[in-house]
Structure 1
Amino acid sequence: MAHWMNLGQQLKMNARKYPQTVALCDARRRFTYPEVNRRVNRLAHRLMQMGLKKGDKLAVLMENSIEIIEFYLATAKTGIVIVPVNFRLVGREVAYIVDNADAKAMAVHHEFTPCVDAIKPQLKQIPPENYIVVDQAKAGYQEYESLLDEAPDSEPDAAVAPSDTWILIYTSGTTGKPKGVLRSHESHIAFFLINAVDFGFDQRDVCMNVMPLCHINSTFFTFTFTYIGATVYIHPARSFRPEEILEIVEREKITFISLIPTHYNLILNVSDEARQRDIHSIKKLLCSSAPVRKTMKTAIMEFFPGVELYEGYGSTEAGIVTVLRPEDQMRKLGSIGLESLGTERIKILDAEGKEVAPCEVGELYSKGPMLFDAYYKLPEKTAAAFKDGWFSAGDMAQMDEDGFYQIVDRKDNMIITGGEHVYPSEVEETIGSHPDVFDVAAISLPDDKWGEKVAAVVVPMQGSDLTEAIIFDWCRDRIAGYKRPKQVIFIQPDQMPRTATGKILHRILREEYAEGEPVFPETDSCPAPEK
């Protein structure tokens, strides 16, 4: 793949090919491809003038913005490795990632400078002059726009190979301390091209980015459109108001959005007035990063008439592994689809490493051109994640007689009660189908008799009268007795711990509720819809 240009190199070509096309825009700014390319070149020169060279790490602690995309593009042009940091993390978590990554510079939005100021003494590898602030000036930081004003806009003189590392991105930590995932330029190029073919994207598309740009989902899907010369509209990840999203779709003629089930749940409960928006520009939707209930898929397709709905399964390490295409949505409800273009046939293996028969549950292993290179400074964990070159993210799955795959659950989330294996996704599917349930997570809690018991953490619809007895009664004739929850815990939407992309952190729930009164990390506050 050595002949394919990386994203930074392709940006230069797009500036020549599409001089009038808006490359990046938000609520107040619009930049064409030539304008973005000039800004990125200036940033690239300034980063190199700060002493950063090929292979050095640049940490970015930023909300979704044009500027964070420019940092991604500038590192692609220079061979510098970008380290996106989740802006929802607290100081000690940020310090761990930045220090573990060996970052030599850091860029932050102004609102996150108090966090960074508090941990600067721990970041001994970053010189005092190598902190950059975006949005407004602050002492102790170089101001972003001033940096650009002082730099040339010529193409930087840097030799970047496809096999070089572009992104060091840390896992969301659903099963423990985050691990740094090294991803090359060529693994992303493969995704951009495969994605464009698999989903049928072209230069006329307008992508709306809502997912946080510190996560692999956004870097994959957002930059696919930059690579092919289309338009990207950038929306803050922490400001998901469904009525506003629909207004932007209408105004900007958005053609594609990647969202998670939580987002769709909020959209499906908007007011009648908001439903009158003209959203017919939407051609394709993706639902990913968390399981999608069957009833929700049907509701999405009813809300967006004529839309092509896709579901993708993948991971930070493997990229996108399977795609459930629009024509299969109704006949294969609950499935994650078939292998994405370029992915070898998936293997479902038992504990002994042998392939299981169709419809039997095993651990999912995949291999393809989007695979990561290694976990940073963790050779043992890298080796443990592979089996003869096949990678597993720890998900339990099964394949049906037609070759379609279904995720049963994460191996680490499996509940073993009285010797019986219970997959939380099945319990969540059952409880989540109750009309008064907004969200639910099934977890294991210690039990003197059975070792573990099934517990349900439920977010009720606003104004509902849900009780534990109602949940028990709902489950009675729908799932086997050993799968039914023995305890129901009711919480508010902002108390459900999630990763940056909406995956529920079952581990946090297990730890907190096993020990007593829960103390949750910072999460998005998503109000439950009216009943």
Structure 2
Amino acid sequence: MAHWMNLGQQFKVNAKRHADKPALKDQGRSFTYAETNRRVNRLAHGLMGLGLFKGDKVAVFMDNCIEIIELYLATAKTGIIIVPINFRLVGPEVEYIVNNADAKAMVVQDQFTGVIDPIKTNLANIPAHHYVVVGEEADGYNAYETFIAGNPDDEPDAAVAPADTWILMYTSGTTGKPKGVIRSHESHIAFYLINGLDMGFNDHDYCLNVMPLCHINSTFYTFLFLYLGGSVYVHPALAFRAPEVLRIVEAERITFISLIPTHYNLILNVDEKDRRRDVGSIRKLLCSSAPVRRKMKREIIDFFPNAELYEGYGSTEAGSVTVLKPEDQMTKTGSIGRELLGTDFIKILDDRGNAVPTGEVGEIYSCGPTLFDEYYKLPEKTAASFKGDWFSAGDMGMRDENGYYYIVDRKDNMIITGGENVYPSEVEEAVGSHECVFDCACIGLPDEKWGEKIVAVVTLKEGIDGSSVSEADIQACCRERLAGYKRPKEVIFIKNDEMPRTTTGKILHRKLKDRYENSN
């Protein structure tokens, strides 16, 4: 039966169609399509040489680099499932994901071996010789280049179907434990084709990859260009510096970047020398993960004079749901746009599952071709997130009379800080582990740099003198348990009777948020 080719299969074709064209480039290297395809095939044979085959999982703990893209491509060709882990996580967080995913091998970037080494003995399913390191050699790891060298560079013999799982991507959950999101090849193929057409991309485009490749955004908006036959410049997410990004845009003649509002804010505040960089090659920009204020939109449009600005809405589970197009940026400020081309898969429902009238608020449900399959090992969580075939990420929104959608609130009080999704319950658990803390609520407050900053509102146990517990004490407690982006940027101490609660004792996060937003 004929079907669309996945990324790995299409890359094989592109290696013939665009053999001598640059596919991947970084600060010191450049590989053509033909060269990349040979490296990917050697990597695929190396993974299979470890005894990994279709359906087995390989975890990757890496910042953006050419090698992580090669891993995505190799798994797409073999049917092996890739498990990308956020490189900002600390040891216990990584350990939970690797074990929950049943990963049988792991590829680690050299700068992160210090996170992995202490937990190796707890990673039950990974044999000692199944660790690979990218970069400097390290004891207990196979060196990446040695690992792929000498392997055949012919195409791996594997039957991979569109409906097969490609990515198991973990996202934070309201319980504090991340959930594994099962994503198929066909959900990504649908994105590449729909967005390629809807946003007007082609094989002449040159993408600068800045967003972390452990996030859904990059597996969409980076690999789209490799699917179409364009080029990708890979830049480490941890090394984001606005002047350097602008230098790359000018030197490489980049045509597309996907960024979050925090990135744009940094770019808009560079000094005069960097403002004079020639960024005229940029023809399209994407902003996602958080709303963009009208003033910033105007500044972005002025800074990139030849670019069209798009905003996208979606989630790890739903994939891509809506897009706000360039012509609507100034007239529909605050909107997440309308359905993507070829789709009509959005409902706004009340608590009983009934559609709400235009202009009224309800929960946003979607059912599009980029939707995930299910949560890994969590059938009850999967069922609770769906009404029939319709999925909700928990966002509350409305639809106006012209068919444009708006996010009104996040049902579970999720905080978006620097483009990262953080659920208060996870932070509250860490803060609450301090021996003096009685209760805690974490909220997101507006922040110029991060979009939202995490603020912990803390009450102390009876008899504890407030002067004996400091913000630094709470921060130190969190440092051992949470990745840096999840830690509170501010701690506010209040009395127990000042904590707003329901009659059943549940803390009212919204009232706290309103209180401190209004006091700033």
Q: TM-score range by the shorter chain?
A: 0.7 to 0.9
Distance 1:319 1:457, change over 3 A: closer
- Counterparts of 1:504 and 1:341, CA distance in 2: 31
Mapping 1:5-404, distance limit 5 Å: 5-173=5-173, 176-404=176-404
The runs of 5 or more residues in structure 1 that have no matched partner are 415-423, 429-440, 446-451, 461-492, 497-502, 526-531
- Counterparts of 1:199 and 1:15, CA distance in 2: 24
1:293 and 1:334 in contact (8 A); partners too = yes
TM-score, normalised on structure 2?
Answer: 0.83
Give the aligned partner of residue 484 of structure 2: 523
Distance 1:456 1:62, change over 3 A: closer
Letter in 1 for 2:95: A
1:342 and 1:369 in contact (8 A); partners too = no
- Counterparts of 1:368 and 1:359, CA distance in 2: 23
How many residue pairs are counted as aligned between the two chains? 454
* Matched residue SS, 1:409: strand
- Counterparts of 2:108 and 2:401, CA distance in 1: 50
- Counterparts of 1:409 and 1:176, CA distance in 2: 20
1:187 and 1:370 in contact (8 A); partners too = yes
CA displacement at 1:304 relative to structure 2: 1.1
- Counterparts of 1:514 and 1:68, CA distance in 2: 44
- Counterparts of 1:178 and 1:455, CA distance in 2: 19
CA displacement at 1:354 relative to structure 2: 1.1
Mapping 1:453-464, distance limit 5 Å: 457=445, 459=447
CA displacement at 1:223 relative to structure 2: 0.3
Distance 1:149 1:455, change over 3 A: closer
2:255 and 2:284 in contact (8 A); partners too = yes
- Counterparts of 2:368 and 2:125, CA distance in 1: 35
TM-score, normalised on structure 1?
Answer: 0.81
* Matched residue SS, 2:336: coil
- Counterparts of 2:278 and 2:3, CA distance in 1: 43
CA displacement at 1:412 relative to structure 2: 1.2
Distance 1:55 1:2, change over 3 A: farther
CA displacement at 1:173 relative to structure 2: 4.2
Letter in 2 for 1:273: K
* Matched residue SS, 1:369: coil
CA displacement at 1:137 relative to structure 2: 1.3
CA displacement at 1:344 relative to structure 2: 2.3
Q: Deviations over 1:342-364 (max 9, x none)?
A: 43241111111111111111100
Distance 1:131 1:453, change over 3 A: closer
- Counterparts of 1:458 and 1:216, CA distance in 2: 24
- Could you tell me the percent identity over the aligned residues? 63
Distance 1:342 1:318, change over 3 A: farther
Distance 1:2 1:174, change over 3 A: farther
Mapping 1:345-494, distance limit 5 Å: 345-413=345-413, 457=445, 459=447
- Counterparts of 2:330 and 2:291, CA distance in 1: 16
Q: Deviations over 1:248-304 (max 9, x none)?
A: 000000000000000001111111111101000000000001121222111111111
CA displacement at 1:305 relative to structure 2: 1.5
Q: Deviations over 1:400-456 (max 9, x none)?
A: 110100111210129xxxxxxxxx99xx9xxxxxxxxxxxx9x999xxxxxx99977
The runs of 5 or more residues in structure 2 that have no matched partner are 429-439, 461-469, 487-520
Q: Deviations over 1:142-163 (max 9, x none)?
A: 1100112121101111111111
Runs of 4+, deviation exceeding 6 Å: 452-456
Q: Deviations over 1:467-496 (max 9, x none)?
A: xxxxxxxxxxxxxxxxxxxxxxxxxx6xx6
- Counterparts of 1:22 and 1:175, CA distance in 2: 44
Distance 1:278 1:153, change over 3 A: same
1:2 and 1:162 in contact (8 A); partners too = no
CA displacement at 1:504 relative to structure 2: 4.7
Give the aligned partner of residue 509 of structure 2: none
Q: Deviations over 1:162-187 (max 9, x none)?
A: 11100000014477321000001111
CA displacement at 1:19 relative to structure 2: 1.3
- Counterparts of 1:387 and 1:249, CA distance in 2: 44
1:323 and 1:340 in contact (8 A); partners too = yes
- Counterparts of 1:5 and 1:458, CA distance in 2: 43
- Counterparts of 1:175 and 1:324, CA distance in 2: 32
Letter in 2 for 1:397: G
CA displacement at 1:341 relative to structure 2: 2.2
Distance 1:505 1:459, change over 3 A: closer
**How large is the RMSD of aligned CA atoms in angstroms?**
2.6
